Structure 1
Amino acid sequence: MVSAAWKEIRKNPEQPIYLLTGTESYLLQETLAKIISESPGIEQHDVLNFDLEETSVDRVIEEADTLPFLQDRKVIVAKNASFLKAKERGKEKIEHPIDQLEAWLQDPSPTATVIFTAPYEKLDSRKKITKVMTSNAVVIEANKLTGSDLTVWVQQQGAAFGVTIDREIADYLVETTGENMMQLSSEIEKLAAFLEGAGTVTKEIIDRLVPRSPETEIFRLTDTYIAGNRAQTLAVYHDLLRSGEEPIAMTSLIAGQVRLMLHVGTLKKKGYHQQQIASTLNVHPYRVKLVMNNRNSPSEQRLLRVLNELASIDLKLKSTSGSRERVLELFFMEKL
């Protein structure tokens, strides 16, 4: 987990080069903030920022090699190092002097910490610049946490705010809020404020304070539809419409939930337990638990029939010029 990298930042605060990569924006921001806060004598307003989609990297090198004024060290953030990923035709705005950067990376300034950010899912490991960068920088991957890693992080965040979140409650909070770490952190802070920085978070407190994510409501919508409860299904559906959810997006999410039910059922028959299924499908264990514990779990044939009907609904929604809301509503009203 990235928490191990945070400990290293604290131990060695004067690293000359960092490379932050990955798509989890919350972890990228937190890691960036920790590097800055651990840099001796540096405040947030002292940090120099460059966007490499707008500015050539030689400006970063020039600034790094210039001695700091009235300070022992300077911190420079060079965002969007897109030259580290595969080139996209027509996307490059700036021609960077890559040879100059490669040479500098092997002999960086002793009085600057330069933080390159590459908020991309994958870097191009075939490029020489990527190899030189990863060889000479402290590389920290800010990838999305899933499964038990996310649960542990929720518990750690709770502890950081002074409250206790048991494992089962942490799972429930993830299921209620979704897996967006920025949103989760905000909700944990709110729960801690409610408890005045001490005590234990309960399911009742979460239900009282935390709004359900659209994904959670889609799970409930799918569950009530599969169970044949048309009145409740329509009630949840209209709530989602009022909150701004689009029928096409809802259809996709419902199909995803039905596919999850199918996959869980198949792996369960093969003898997989809950954690193995979650790991294999790359979903949070609590979602798998809810599917496995569903007493109204339908047959595989029934789920396949629903999936086939959803494919037809998706086509109708994308081709109709009429009311998309009505198309999906009629689907929910039909007998399964």
Structure 2
Amino acid sequence: MAAIKSFASSDRFLAEIQTPQIRPGYVLAGDEAFLYQRCRAGVLETLAPPDQRDFCLHDLDLAETTIFDILDRAQTPSLMAPFQVIFVRNLKTLYTRGAKKEEFAAIDAYFRRPNPQALLLFVAEHLHIPTDLRRMDMQDKERYERIRETLGEWCGMVELARVEEGDAVRWLAEAALARNIRFDSDAARELVDALGADMMLISSEFEKLCLYVQGKHLLVSKEDIPQNITLGDVETMVLAAKQRSLYELTDAISSKDRPRAVALLHGLLNASDGGEDSAIGHLYMLARTFRQMLIILEKNVRDSRAIWGVLWQGFRMPPFAAEDLIRQARRYQSRSDLTRALRLIAKADLEIRSSPPDKRLVLERLILALASEPRPQTPELLNQFAMEL
């Protein structure tokens, strides 16, 4: 595969560990999980044969193991393997709660006379390095510079920065070609855009798409028909691509644009594999999105960077939707407006599960209600709702 600009730092690292110029330690700096896994896989392939990994590979955490114990392990030759690979996570622990003079003195002493049969890999996953280094957050920049000042003298710095969208598209094309599959350019761009150039997600969805098109190919009797991943395949298989229409729907709902909301609902239903039977899935996604907006409104989130601090892992939207969802949430005046929407969705969900004659009609009524201004509640209605609860 030809060199890709965003992979340059990890490529240099992987090339260096195969030469006599390998350093005794490296800092893998950045939270780009795909590039980290790429570096780790290269290290294991080169320095830790599968039959020796039980004896030569160590995954240690500075939150659980002191740096003194880690350095002692690195300095002590292994009786069972000729080389040791030691991954050290939670590097940020070294840079909190005091100056840590003794710890850094021990690190300095080790690297002055390192064990040539050991490799220390410090993982600084607490840093976020953007594609454009000039846009790095000031706090991350200060943390990165401090690591360079303390470990950079002895360790190689490997920057695991976010991958540029163009490089992600190129990786998809080249990775598919290596499997004798053609990845259509518009399909690759849609996948990258839908997943916000998150290479870990992209690589995972890429594997699914390859299996999907290979399965379709086996059903075709003519073997000379080339395998290719199309825009339709991406829209069919990748959830985030499908979610685009969902966020367009919630945009219309929050704008109180009833005609557009109903038209988008029909588009979602017509595109769904299950037709009307997919109604429960659409209700689930609507409820999830309105819950996200409720938290955004309650926490007064105003930019996409802050959103990851209030929404937990597994409850976050695709990166491309963050700004849109913040804007939609701010259209609601109060928490009660969003809780009203959740009550309407819950009511529609109960009705759908009761096998109504027409599920599409239930969804249409829901969308019209969501896209309408709430009616003033009389005391009688409030008491009725309290009794229902």
Q: TM-score range by the shorter chain?
A: 0.5 to 0.7
Rounded to whole Å, the distance in 1 between the matches of 2:48 and 2:261 is 62
Q: Alpha-carbon deviation of 1:97?
A: 1.9
Alpha carbons of 1:129 and 1:119: their partners in 2 closer, same or farther (altered >3 Å)?
closer
Q: Please state if 1:247 is matched with 2:290.
A: yes
Native 8 Å contact 1:56 1:96 kept in 2: no
Rounded to whole Å, the distance in 1 between the matches of 2:170 and 2:295 is 29
Which of structures 1 and 2 has the bigger CA Rg?
Answer: 2
> Deviations 1:206-256 (Å, cap 9, x if unpaired)?
2333333575244432565567413145576985541361414247899xx
Alpha carbons of 1:224 and 1:315: their partners in 2 closer, same or farther (altered >3 Å)?
closer
Structure 1 unaligned regions, length at least 5:
261-282, 288-302
Instruction: Read off the aligned partner of 1:333 and give its amino acid letter.
Output: S
Q: How does 1:61-80 map to 2 (within 5 A)?
A: 61-80=71-90
Match of 1:315 among 334, 342, 348: 334
Q: How does 1:232-311 map to 2 (within 5 A)?
A: 232-233=263-264, 239-243=281-285, 245-250=288-293, 310-311=329-330
Q: Alpha-carbon deviation of 1:160?
A: 4.3
Q: How many residues were matched structurally?
A: 284
Q: How does 1:319-330 map to 2 (within 5 A)?
A: 324-326=342-344, 330=369
For residue 209 of structure 1, what is the aligned residue in structure 2?
237
Q: How does 1:51-200 map to 2 (within 5 A)?
A: 51-83=61-93, 85=95, 87=96, 97-120=103-126, 121=128, 122=140, 124-125=142-143, 130-196=148-214, 199-200=227-228
Rounded to whole Å, the distance in 2 between the matches of 1:317 and 1:107 is 65
Rounded to whole Å, the distance in 2 between the matches of 1:214 and 1:314 is 28
TM-score, with length taken from structure 2: 0.59
Alpha carbons of 1:147 and 1:41: their partners in 2 closer, same or farther (altered >3 Å)?
closer
3-state SS of 1:76 partner:
strand
Rounded to whole Å, the distance in 1 between the matches of 2:43 and 2:87 is 10
For residue 7 of structure 1, what is the aligned residue in structure 2?
11
Native 8 Å contact 2:58 2:85 kept in 1: yes
> Deviations 1:18-64 (Å, cap 9, x if unpaired)?
11111222322222222221226465433111111111011111111
Native 8 Å contact 1:178 1:213 kept in 2: no
Q: Please state if 1:231 is matched with 2:250.
A: no
Aligned-residue sequence identity (percent) comes to 19
Rounded to whole Å, the distance in 1 between the matches of 2:209 and 2:331 is 42
Instruction: Read off the aligned partner of 1:315 and give its amino acid letter.
Output: S
3-state SS of 1:61 partner:
helix
Of the structure 1 ranges 146-155 and 182-191, higher mean CA displacement relative to structure 2 is found in 146-155
Rounded to whole Å, the distance in 2 between the matches of 1:145 and 1:252 is 29
Alpha carbons of 1:126 and 1:137: their partners in 2 closer, same or farther (altered >3 Å)?
closer
> Deviations 1:263-313 (Å, cap 9, x if unpaired)?
xxxxxxxxxxxxxxxxxxxx98xx9xxxxxxxxxxxxxxx9xx95x85251
Of the structure 1 ranges 150-159 and 324-333, higher mean CA displacement relative to structure 2 is found in 324-333
Rounded to whole Å, the distance in 2 between the matches of 1:238 and 1:252 is 23
Q: Alpha-carbon deviation of 1:77?
A: 0.8
For residue 360 of structure 2, what is the aligned residue in structure 1?
none
Q: Please state if 1:18 is matched with 2:61.
A: no
Native 8 Å contact 1:6 1:31 kept in 2: yes
CA RMSD of aligned residues (A): 4.2
Instruction: Read off the aligned partner of 1:242 and give its amino acid letter.
Output: Y
Alpha carbons of 1:174 and 1:144: their partners in 2 closer, same or farther (altered >3 Å)?
same
Alpha carbons of 1:316 and 1:202: their partners in 2 closer, same or farther (altered >3 Å)?
same
TM-score, with length taken from structure 1: 0.67
Alpha carbons of 1:214 and 1:117: their partners in 2 closer, same or farther (altered >3 Å)?
farther
Native 8 Å contact 1:177 1:210 kept in 2: no
Rounded to whole Å, the distance in 2 between the matches of 1:186 and 1:161 is 15
